[in-house]
């Protein structure tokens, strides 16, 4: 059987403005009935980072093939497209399922904050259970039901789940005919943006029938990939008609906090509206002298040195000093539990209770985290606490459990966020020499580098400090000794 397909209408390149993300699990506050359906040439997904990459969303009235490995999140992603269409853009949606029944679908999506049952009760969404459709007239009945339901609901978004299940039900020829009918009568004539799901078996690259990729206006792949100590997910935009793409592949998380899929996308620009000239004190008098007043707001400072030399205490003094001035400080420990951090603070004269809500401590076990977990932790913490000063102690714990590529990418992500949000960041790393500090993986990303190290003095070990680098500012270049006392770091300047 040959298919004669009409060319899709030309796509305008006038993109709509991106809309801010809203809480996905609060349906009642969105008032979708009061919103005017979008008349744009784009159909936004409702995921800010992805819509920005797509120039505003999928081309309207297009057919998008969403294909991937089992468990990669195809159902989640397609439901996000429908859910966000209702609550954010006032566009009704239809979900045609050949693989999952209604109750399982509602339960699974509710676990991610998408109450599809509530939307259906309000007449904003329709779930079509086609799991049991069989027989000689299955193709005709299914096609008629989909056309009728989509038309009567005045839906602007349609999901077909999945072509693989449909293939098993009706065969290859009938499935191609159904796909052609949906493309011609629903997607184009009714002005509906359609997403068709397909399976990619592990170890194979074929999407299913072998022709959907050419019929579809867009093709998105969701795949698993093995990494050091983890299996991560990757989203690849393999094709999108009428859409210039500067980035097409990135990793993503699936989490209720984000209402489903959340891509991890490095910001394209690191610039803030202006370059801050204000310096924040380090909390250590001698170090302030060495850095000529502290470090610039929004900068990244790397504190390097061997274990036990005082890196954590230096971080805690910095955060505490700025919390007392009204800054919001966040300390994330990747090595010691919260109780031990509080005990360390008390040993050098710092009282967390006096700092109140301006000082937040959290602790994680690095061995239990994948590279994407670090992104999630950072995003969650920034959203929840909105810190202006932040410390990761030590990033070395991350490096041992990540590939070099993942580690450098995360450090770069953190650096770009610090610039955009004007967050002053401290990172600690375990190195004992100047050469190691200068050649470490993240040294080039740091604006400031402070080296702490031991030296022998008579019959005991002493400690010394050296400021290797302060970007955009002068600093003292001499090495000075310091002691850790009950009142903190005493630097002999």
Q: Which of 160-164, 210-214, 278-282 has the lowest mean pLDDT?
A: 210-214
Handedness of CA 291, 304, 463, 323 (dihedral sign): positive
Q: 410 or 226, which is more confident? A: 410
Q: How confident is the model at residue 245 (pLDDT cuts 50, 70, 90)?
A: confident
Asked whether 230 and 370 are in contact (CB, 8 A), the reply is yes
> What's the CA gap between 263 and 266, in Å, rounded?
10
Residue among 482, 450, 486, 432 nearest 285 (CA): 482
What is the tens place of the pLDDT at every residue in 260-285?
A: 888 887 766 555 544 678 999 999 99
Q: Which CATH architecture has domain 279-491?
A: 3-Layer(aba) Sandwich (3.40)
Task: State the angle between helix axes of 404-421 and 371-385 in degrees (0 to 180), rounded to the nearest 10.
Answer: 10
> Per-domain residue ranges for the chain?
32-263, 279-491
Note the pLDDT of residue 100: 87
The b-or-e profile of 271-308 (16+ CB within 10 A means b, else e) is eeeeeeeebbbbbbbbbbbbbeebbbbbbbbbbbbeee
| 330, 332, 336, 339: CA torsion to nearest 10 | 30
- What is 32-263's CATH topology? Rossmann fold (3.40.50)
Report the 10 Å Cβ neighbour count for 91. Answer: 25
> What's the CA gap between 189 and 241, in Å, rounded?
18
> What's the CA gap between 333 and 310, in Å, rounded?
14
> What's the CA gap between 303 and 430, in Å, rounded?
9
Residue among 195, 246, 236, 201 nearest 216 (CA): 195
What is the tens place of the pLDDT at every residue in 299-342?
A: 999 999 998 999 999 999 999 999 999 999 999 998 899 999 99
Q: What angle do CA 46, 48, 53 make, to 5 degrees?
A: 110
Q: What angle do CA 445, 446, 452 make, to 5 degrees?
A: 135
What letter would DSSP give residue 228? T
Q: 3-class SS at 279?
A: strand
Burial of 4 (0-12, 13-18, 19+ CB in 10 A): exposed
Q: 3-class SS at 41?
A: coil
The bridge status of strand 424-429 relative to strand 300-304 is: parallel
> What's the CA gap between 59 and 40, in Å, rounded?
9
What residues have CB less than 8 Å from 69, skipping those under 6 apart?
199, 200, 201, 202, 222, 223, 224
Query: Residue 344 pLDDT more than 70?
Result: yes
CA 360 to chain centroid, in Å, comes to 22
What is the tens place of the pLDDT at every residue in 14-41?
A: 323 334 444 333 333 344 443 444 456 8
Q: Two tokens at 444?
A: 């080039």
Q: How confident is the model at residue 6 (pLDDT cuts 50, 70, 90)?
A: very low
Q: How confident is the model at residue 210 (pLDDT cuts 50, 70, 90)?
A: low
What is the tens place of the pLDDT at every residue in 91-135?
A: 999 999 988 899 999 999 999 999 999 999 999 999 999 877 665
User: What integer best gives the mean pLDDT of the chain?
Assistant: 81
Q: For 398, what's the count of Cα atoms within 13 Å in the CB-facing half-sphere?
A: 28
Strand partners of residue 233: 224, 252
> What's the CA gap between 493 and 480, in Å, rounded?
6
Note the pLDDT of residue 28: 37
Note the pLDDT of residue 290: 95
Average pLDDT for 252-256 = 83
Judge whether 32-263 and 279-491 match in fold.
yes
Asked whether 235 and 54 are in contact (CB, 8 A), the reply is no
Q: Two tokens at 15?
A: 């993109």
Asked whether 333 and 301 are in contact (CB, 8 A), the reply is no
Average pLDDT for 387-399 = 88
What is the tens place of the pLDDT at every residue in 47-77?
A: 988 999 999 999 999 999 999 888 889 999 9
What residues have CB less than 8 Å from 126, skipping those under 6 apart?
92, 93, 94, 95, 120, 149, 153, 155
Note the pLDDT of residue 127: 97
What residues have CB less than 8 Å from 83, skipping those under 6 apart?
24, 46, 93, 109, 114, 116, 119, 259, 260
DSSP states of 188-221: IIS--EEEEEEE--TT----SSSSHHHH-SEEEE
What letter would DSSP give residue 2? -
Q: Give the largest Cα separation in the chain, rounded.
A: 94
Note the pLDDT of residue 154: 95
């Amino acid at each position: 059987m040959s298919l004669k397909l009409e060319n899709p209408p030309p796509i305008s390149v006038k993109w709509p403005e991106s809309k801010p993300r809203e809480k996905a699990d609060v349906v009642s506050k969105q008032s979708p009935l009061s919103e005017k359906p979008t008349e744009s040439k784009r159909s936004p997904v409702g995921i800010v980072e992805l819509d920005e990459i797509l120039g505003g969303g999928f081309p309207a009235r297009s057919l998008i093939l969403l294909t991937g490995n089992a468990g990669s999140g195809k159902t989640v992603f397609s439901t996000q497209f429908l859910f966000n269409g209702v609550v954010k853009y006032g566009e009704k949606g239809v979900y045609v399922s050949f693989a999952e029944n209604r109750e399982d679908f509602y339960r699974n999506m509710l676990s991610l904050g998408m109450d599809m049952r509530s939307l259906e009760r309000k007449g904003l969404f329709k779930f079509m259970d086609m799991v049991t459709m069989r027989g000689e007239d299955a193709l005709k009945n299914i096609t008629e039901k989909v056309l009728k339901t989509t038309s009567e609901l005045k839906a602007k978004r349609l999901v077909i789940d999945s072509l693989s299940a449909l293939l098993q039900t009706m065969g290859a020829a009938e499935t191609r005919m159904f796909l052609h009918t949906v493309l011609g009568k629903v997607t184009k004539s009714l002005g509906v943006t359609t997403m068709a799901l397909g399976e990619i078996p592990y170890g194979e690259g074929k999407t299913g029938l072998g022709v959907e990729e050419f019929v579809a206006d867009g093709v998105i792949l969701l795949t698993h990939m093995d990494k050091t100590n983890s299996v991560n997910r990757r989203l690849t935009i393999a094709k999108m008609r009428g859409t210039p793409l500067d980035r097409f592949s990135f990793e993503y998380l699936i989490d209720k906090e984000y209402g489903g899929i959340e891509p991890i996308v490095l910001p394209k620009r690191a610039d803030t509206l202006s370059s801050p000239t204000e310096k924040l004190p380090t909390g250590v008098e001698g170090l302030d002298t060495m850095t000529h007043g502290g470090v610039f707001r929004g900068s990244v400072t790397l504190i390097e040195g061997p274990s036990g030399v005082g890196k954590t205490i230096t971080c805690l003094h910095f955060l505490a000093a700025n919390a007392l001035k009204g800054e919001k400080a966040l300390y994330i420990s990747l090595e010691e539990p919260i109780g031990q951090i509080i005990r360390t603070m008390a040993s050098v004269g710092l009282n967390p209770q006096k700092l109140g809500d301006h000082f937040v401590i959290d602790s994680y076990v690095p061995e239990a985290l994948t590279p994407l977990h670090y992104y999630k932790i950072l995003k969650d913490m920034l959203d929840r606490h909105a810190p202006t000063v932040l410390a990761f102690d030590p990033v070395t714990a991350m490096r041992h459990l990540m590939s070099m590529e993942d580690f450098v990418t995360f450090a770069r992500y953190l650096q770009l966020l610090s610039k955009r949000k004007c967050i002053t960041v401290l990172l600690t790393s375990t190195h004992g020499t100047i050469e190691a500090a200068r050649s470490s993986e993240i040294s080039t990303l740091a604006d400031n580098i402070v080296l702490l190290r031991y030296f022998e003095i008579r019959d005991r070990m002493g400690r010394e400090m050296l400021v290797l680098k302060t970007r955009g500012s002068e600093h003292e270049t001499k090495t000075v000794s310091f002691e850790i006392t009950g009142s903190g770091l005493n630097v002999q300047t």
